[in-house]
Structure 1
Amino acid sequence: MRIVGFLFSLGPILFGIGFLAPVIASVMGAAGLDAPVGLSAIQFGLITGIILGVIARQRKTWLW
C-alpha cells in the first residue's frame, strides 16, 4: 500500500510527463515553433511538463 500511495503522490508529475509533454510538443510542431537552446520539441515538452507537475504537486492544485 505504501507503493501505491507513493505513486499517487507523484500523480501531477506523471501527468506532466505522460500528457502535457506530448501535447506541448504537438502544439509546437503544429505551430511551426522551434524549441529553445537546440532542444527537440519533445525534450522541451518533457522539461516543461515536469516543471509544471512539480509546481502542481507542491501547491497541491493545478489552478493558479
Structure 2
Amino acid sequence: MRVTIDSDICIGSGMCALTAPSVFDQDDDGYGSVRPGREDGAGDPLTKEAARGCPVQAITIAED
C-alpha cells in the first residue's frame, strides 16, 4: 500500500495525526503529512481509519 496526502486539499484538521500518529504528522504550517519512511503505511491498522476520517478526503491509499 502507498499512502499520500494531497496538500492542495488538506485543511489541517489534524485528524490523521490524531488517528494514526505513527504514520501521519503535521508540518510546520499545521497541514497533514506522511512521516518519512512511512509512505507504505507500515501495516498500521489505523492508516485506513485515518483516511476514512479525513474531513476533506485528502488521504489516498493505493493498494499494491
Common fold: TM-score over 0.5: no
More strand by share: 2
**TM-score, normalised on structure 2?**
0.29
**TM-score, normalised on structure 1?**
0.29
